[in-house]
Structures are given as structure tokens and as C-alpha cells.
Amino acid sequence: MGFRHDFLWGGATAANQCEGGYDKGGRGLANVDVVPIGKDRYPIITGQMKMVDFDDEHFYPAKEAIDMYHRYKEDIALFAEMGFKTYRLSIAWSRIFPKGDEAEPNEAGLQFYEDVFNECRKYGIEPLVTITHFDCPIHLVENYGAWRNRKLVGFYENLCRAIFTRYKGLVKYWLTFNEINMILHAPFMGAGLYFEEGDNKEQVKYQAAHHELVASAIATKIAHEVDPENQVGCMLAAGGYYPYTSNPEDVFESRKKDRENYFFIDVQSRGEYPAYALKELERQGIQIEMEAGDLELLKAHTVDFISFSYYSSRVATADPELLAKTEGNIFASVKNPYLEASEWGWQIDPLGLRITMNDLYDRYQKPLFIVENGLGAVDVPDEDGYVEDDYRIDYLAAHIKAMKDAVDLDGVDLLGYTTWGCIDLVSAGTGEMKKRYGFIYVDRDNEGNGTLKRSKKKSFDWYKKVIATNGEDLSNNK
């Protein structure tokens, strides 16, 4: 059986991690620009908002990133050489509306992405476009409090109208918000949120989430009105929670953690707040302010497909002491003793991808799209920039095999698969370059040194073969 004949193989990037050109073409600053390299680059900010500009003490990797702003033709040509059917990228909001609240868009920004999409089309590559991949114009953060403010719904609507109209016929597949559930775990990175003294942080986060959910429904409505061919998806950071033991307390804790992540997608896919979420908000004393028509809007304009990132499964426990002794990444998790881990502590679980796919398809009965999956690792190139990254090939092959099993054996409807960081880019979590995911090595280090030269890794030709055989040949000639 295998994958569908029109399966969308490709790779994924985000503007703030690869584009650079932060001050080119009239672009404004965004939250993702003004955070320096470092483990704690996205703190929970309380009191006076400080992270609104650059200083002389820190290195800000997003300012230049890998300079795809000037090199996109070279990079897209390499994607085409691999045989990409689709390329997932994001739009920098502040490139289209530099402040975010202007009445008219920035023509230079609109033209830049039109050129990028035309370059993709030249090679028969279908753009898959994320409207907001964590970035929020700094002007909206400073002057409106970012997504805590209902006015951002209108500003986002202006963005959507501008891009849906301008790129009609060039872009068919859209994602409204990247990893929308990240707003609960990394509010500044995920939505530009910061907190004032005395704020109920959970109230602020869930109110902001409601604004994003309404904005997503509006985007879906406009996309279908502008072009009935448009397909709009939601996107979550996925990876199910296993119970640490068969103790019913652990089992139920894992269910609660899953619901915490599915809440957003429940609304975007089913069109209403689920009962469990309403009860949880009630228990926490959170009262979401809604405008007349919000619930009708959510119900009438659900997404066409479900997209998600998958890097690892997670483990939940009801024992707070056990959880306190473990270190997660953004999502807290007990270490799974049955799994190996990457250099960054992300546990490797290909079967977990199949489980996640089944969970999502059983829950929503809508087509799925895996838009991020990959292995972050320290790559050591030879003098020509070539990397023998068999570890990456092994990781991806195992996950594609699990993905194929979900399609062949379980009947999951899957539209496509885009690996994360198909070209090396800046890490969202730490701002590092040494945590590399790509098939293409970029000569740049954590301090911004290097020529930015692109060179093919071993995985480049391997993925080219995978695409050419529609996922049938996953072998690696070591």
C-alpha cells in the first residue's frame, strides 16, 4: 500500500531561526529577535518589560541567523535537488506589518515572500506556510501586551487578509499558529507574553490562548473565502504521555497531561471548548472574557487538517517528588528507562510517533500532517563541510518506518511529512547553532562566526532516495 501517490515529502524551517535580515526591507523587530543566546533566553518576565531592544553585552542569533533572506534561491535549489514536494516555512509578521498595527502592509515584505514562493513553484515545490511561528512584533508587545489584548485578533486578521489575497494561487496550505499549546509552557517565546506584578499568570495565558483560537477561526474563514482551494491546519507540539507506572494515579495524570495539550486542537478541530477544559478553568478560577459571536465563530470555522511536531514521547507521574528530580526540556517528563536519548536529553521513541498519530486520528478523524520531526545533534564536518551523520539517518528511518506502519497497518490518513531544520538553523530553545538538524551543513558557530557556506551531509542523498522511492527505500549504506 505505502504512502499516497501525492504524498508531500519535504522539510521545515521558521523565519526567526533561518531568515536573518532583521533590519532589511523595512522589517520591524519581533519578540524572537531580541532574545540573546543562552539556556534561559526566554525568561518569565515580571514587572517592567526590558527585552525590547538589543544591548552590547549579548549575541542575538536571529539578527542574521543563516541569512536565508539573501540566500533563499541557493537553499531552495538544494531542497529541489533532494526532490522536495513541499517546503514548510513561516512568514515574519513584522516583515509584512513592521509594527503590527499599521493599516497597510509593507510592500517590500510582501514582495520578498512572493519571490520566495515563486522560487518554490519554479521547482514544483508546494509552499506550506505558517502564518505565525512564535513571532509577535515588539510594538504589539510593548504597547498592547501582545496576545493578552483582544486588539491583536484584529491585527492578525489584517495580516491574514493581506497574505491570503497577495499569495492566492501561490500558496494552498496554511498553518495558523505554530505549536499553539506552547503558550502555556513558554509564553514569551510562544506569544510575546510577559507578566506584570500581581498578574494571575494562568488567567493571562488562557485569555491570550482564547484570542489566538478566535484569530485562528477568523483566518480559516478568510482563507476559504479568498480561495476555496486553500487548506488550513492547526499545529501542536505533540508527543503523548505514558504513565510512569500502572498505578491508576499515574495513568490518570498522563491523561490530564495529554488533555492539557489537546485542549487547543479540540477547539480548532471540533469547534468548541471541551467539557474537561471548562471544568479545569472553573477549578482554577479562570474566567475567559469572550465577545458576542466568538463561540459561533469557533464552531463554524474549524481547520481542514491537523498538523503537529513530534520529537519524543513523555512520561507522567502523580508523584511530585519524582517529577521534581527529573529534567525535561520545555515539557517536564520523567525519564523513560526503556528509551535512549539524544545529546540534548530528548528520548528517542519512533513507536511513540505511531501511537501519537493513532491518538490524533482517532480523536479528530481529520487528515494529519507531520510538519516537524528530527534529531538535533553536534555534527563534525570534514574540511569540505561533509558530515557522516548516520545517527540522523537511523533516527529518521526509524520514525518514517513507524509513520508508514500507522498509514499501512492502522489506516491513518497522512498528507505529508516535513523534517525539522532541513538546513541547519538557530535553535529556538537556546539560540545555538551546534544543535543541528539539517541535511545541509551551514558554516556558522554559536558566536556567529563562519562563512555561511552550505554543504551536503550524508543524509542529503539518503533523504533524496527516500523521497524518490516514496518512502519505500529507507536503507543506509554505511
Q: What does the alpha-carbon distance between residue 404 and residue 3 come to, in Å, rounded to a whole number?
A: 7
| pLDDT given for residue 58 in this prediction | 85
Enter the C-alpha cell of residue 84.
522536495
> Does 387 have pLDDT greater than 90?
yes
> Is a pLDDT exceeding 90 seen at residue 57?
no
Span 80-99, pLDDT tens digits: 999 999 999 999 999 999 99
- Which region among 47-51, 256-260, 303-307 has the lowest average model confidence (pLDDT)? 47-51
pLDDT in tens, 412-449: 999 999 999 999 999 988 899 999 999 999 999 999 99
Q: Which helix (H) or strand (E) holds 206?
A: helix 201-226
Predicted pLDDT at 327: 55
Closest CA to 208 of 177, 234, 240, 233: 177
Residue from 304, 267, 252 nearest 275 by CA: 267
Rounded CA-CA distance 75/375 in Å is 20
pLDDT tops 60 at residue 51: no
The CATH superfamily assigned to 8-469 is: Glycosidases (3.20.20.80)
Q: Is 123 helix (H, G, I), strand (E, B) or coil?
A: coil
- Residues in contact with 203: Cβ distance below 8 Å, sequence separation at least 6, in sequence order: 285, 286, 287
- Kindly state the average pLDDT of the residues 4-19: 98
Q: Averaged over 363-377, what is the pLDDT?
A: 97
Among 478, 464, 465, 422, CA closest to 66: 422
Catalytic residue, from 260, 372, 447, 472: name it.
372
Distance CA(234)–CA(407), nearest Å, equals: 20
- On whether the CB atoms of residues 3 and 411 are closer than 8 A, the answer is no
> What pairs with residue 272 in β-bridges?
none
pLDDT confidence band for 47 (50 / 70 / 90):
very low
Beta strands in 154-259 (DSSP E): 173-177, 231-238, 241-243
Q: Would you state the cell numbers that stand for residue 121, as one nine-digit string?
A: 513553484
**For residue 418, with 0-12 CB atoms within 10 Å meaning exposed, 13-18 middle and 19 or more buried, which class applies?**
buried
pLDDT of residue 53: 72
Q: Domain extents for the chain? A: 8-469
Instruction: Give me the pLDDT at residue 46, please.
Output: 45
Place of cell 501582545: 146
CB atoms within 10 A of CB 229: 10
With contact defined as beta carbons under 8 Å apart, do 216 and 234 qualify?
A: yes
Q: What are the tens digits of pLDDT across the range 235-246? A: 999 999 999 999
Residue 45 has pLDDT above 70, yes or no: no
pLDDT score of 423? 98
Residue 132, helix vs strand vs coil = strand
Buried residues in 234-250 as b, exposed as e (16+ CB within 10 A): bbbbbbbbbbbeeeeeb
Inter-residue contact 438 to 422 (CB < 8 Å): yes
Task: Please report where in the chains the cell 537553499 appears, as a residue.
Answer: 75
Q: What's the confidence (pLDDT) of residue 83?
A: 98
Strand 314-316 to strand 241-243: parallel, antiparallel, or no bridges (unpaired)?
parallel
Percent of the chain with pLDDT over 90: 85
C-alpha cell at 389: 551523520
Q: Reply yes or no on whether the pLDDT at 382 is more than 90.
A: yes
Q: How far apart are CA 138 and CA 77, in angstroms?
A: 33
C-alpha angle 424/428/429, rounded to 5°? 120
Residue 245, Ramachandran bin (φ over 0: left; ψ between -120 and 50: alpha; else beta): beta
**pLDDT value at position 1?**
77
Asked whether the predicted pLDDT for residue 390 surpasses 90, the reply is: yes
C-alpha cell at 401: 518506518
Helix residue spans in 133-181 (DSSP H) = 138-144, 151-166
Sign of the four-CA dihedral 329, 340, 87, 36: positive
Q: What is the mean pLDDT of residues 202-224?
A: 97
State the pLDDT at residue 325. 58
Amino acid identity of residue 18, one-letter, is C
Average pLDDT, the chain: 94
pLDDT band at 48 (very low <50, low <70, confident <90, very high): very low
What percent of the chain has a predicted confidence (pLDDT) above 70? 96
Query: What pLDDT does 213 receive?
Result: 98
**Phi-psi bin for 365: left (phi > 0), alpha (psi -120 to 50), beta?**
left
The yes-or-no answer on residue 388 being catalytic is: no
CA–CA distance, 464 with 11 (Å, rounded to integer): 12
Q: What is the pLDDT of residue 122?
A: 98
**Highest-confidence range of 204-213, 317-326, 425-434, by mean pLDDT?**
204-213
**Model confidence band, residue 185 (pLDDT cutoffs 50, 70, 90):** confident
Residue 371 pLDDT level (bands cut at 50, 70, 90): very high
Averaged over 389-394, what is the pLDDT? 98
- Is the predicted pLDDT of residue 164 greater than 60, yes or no? yes
